Amino acid sequence: MHSSNQLVLVVTTVASHADAEHLARQLIYSSMAACVQIEGPVTSHYKWDGVLQSSTEFRLTIKTGNACWQDLKRQLAALHPYEQPEILMLPVTDTTEGYRDWVIQHTR
């Protein structure tokens, strides 16, 4: 499969459902994503500035094509409310041809 037709999942988290909805709408509107799922609340445990933290967050799973990844990463970083956001890209190694075509059709 050519890399421009490969699908990727992008994962990020935000502190509020409203922030998650805002990011989802912006990414869909700009054709950076074909679908964004919002899950949560989830509890995240991590160290920040050397202090153990625990916070409630909402996870976004963003479905897009590999060809959009770099632009999506820049846009997500610019829109994201966190100082240092989690932005992970996971390649999709297999899917149905119809779903892949639908995602590619709805992203630029």
pLDDT tens for each residue of 14-71: 999 999 999 999 999 999 999 999 999 999 999 999 999 999 999 999 999 999 999 9
Domain tally, the chain: 1
Question: What pLDDT sits at residue 40?
Answer: 97
Per-residue pLDDT tens for 91-105?
999 999 999 999 999
Task: Confirm if 48 and 84 have CB atoms less than 8 A apart.
Answer: no
This model's pTM is above 0.85: yes
Tokens representing residue 96 in the block: 């149905």
Q: Which SS3 state, helix, strand or coil, does residue 43 take? A: strand
> Could you list the residue range(s) of the whole structural domain that residue 40 is in?
3-105
Q: Which SS3 state, helix, strand or coil, does residue 58 take? A: strand
Tokens representing residue 34 in the block: 């074909």
- Tell me the CATH number at 37: 3.30.70.120
Question: What pLDDT sits at residue 2?
Answer: 56
